[in-house]
Structure 1
Amino acid sequence: MMNHFPRLAGKVVLVTGAWGGLGKTFVRHLLMARAKVILTDVSERPITELADGGGLPFGWEKQVLGQIKSDLNAVEGPKALYEACQKIAPVDMVVHNAGLAFVGHYEEIPMDKMNLQMRVMLTAPMELTHLFLPDFLQRGSGHFIFIDSVAGFIATKLGTSYSAAKFGLRGFAMALSGEIKKRGVDVTIIYPFFTRTGILKAPIVGKAKIPVMPKIFIDDPDKVINTALKGINNRDLHVKTGFYSNFMWQVNRLWPVISSQMQPKQL
Structure 2
Amino acid sequence: MEREQTVELIRTQLRKQRALAGMNQDEFGKRTNYSASTVSAVETGTRPVDLPYARHADEILETGGLFESLLHTAQRDAQPEWFMPWLKAERAATQLRYFNPTLIPGLFQTENYARAVLRFDDTRPELEIEQQVTARLERQEILKLERPPQIVAVIDESVLRRTDAIMAEQLAHLLRMADLSFVHIHIVPASAGLHVGLSGALSLARLADGTWIGHMENQLGGEQADKEERVATLLARWECVRGVALPRTLSVALIKEVESQHGPQ
The alignment's TM-score, normalised by the length of structure 1, stands at 0.31
Larger radius of gyration: 2
The alignment's TM-score, normalised by the length of structure 2, stands at 0.31
